Amino acid sequence: MDENTIICRCSDVTLKQVRDLINDGYVTYDEIKRITRIGMGPCQGKTCGQLVMREIANATGQNIKDVKFQTTRPPAVGVKLGLIAEEGRRNEE
C-alpha cells in the first residue's frame, strides 16, 4: 500500500507517520494518538482505530485482539453544547 495513504481523515495522518512512530518505539495506540492526534478528531478513532491497531499488531507480532484501543468516552456521537445546556436547564425545572 502507498505509504502516503491518509489513514486518519480527521487529523490527516499518513500510514508512513504511523509506521515511523512504531519503528521509533511508540507501540501503543495511546502513544501514537498523543503524538499524531489520531483518534482525537470528530470520528474518535471509529475510522482509523482498526487500521492503526493492525499496524501495531503487525509490527509487534501481537494478535490484534490484544492491542489496546483508546478509552471509550462520552458522548457516543457529537452533541451540540447548546442542546446539553437546554436539557440541563430543563432538568432543573
- Contact footprint for another protein (CB under 8 A): 11, 28, 30-31, 34-35, 37, 40-42, 44, 71, 73-75, 78-82, 84-85, 87-89, 91
Least separation in angstroms between residue 28's CB and another protein is 6
Nearest alpha carbon to residue 45 among 62, 33, 35, 55: 33
In this complex, which beta carbon is closest to another protein, that of residue 61 or of residue 75?
Answer: 75
Least separation in angstroms between residue 90's CB and another protein is 10
Alpha-carbon distance values, 49 to 1, 43, 52, 84 (Å): 18, 10, 5, 27
Task: Using the structure block, give the residue that is written with the C-alpha cell 495506540.
Answer: 29
The rounded distance, in Å, linking the Cα atoms of 20 and 83 is 41
Least separation in angstroms between residue 3's CB and another protein is 19
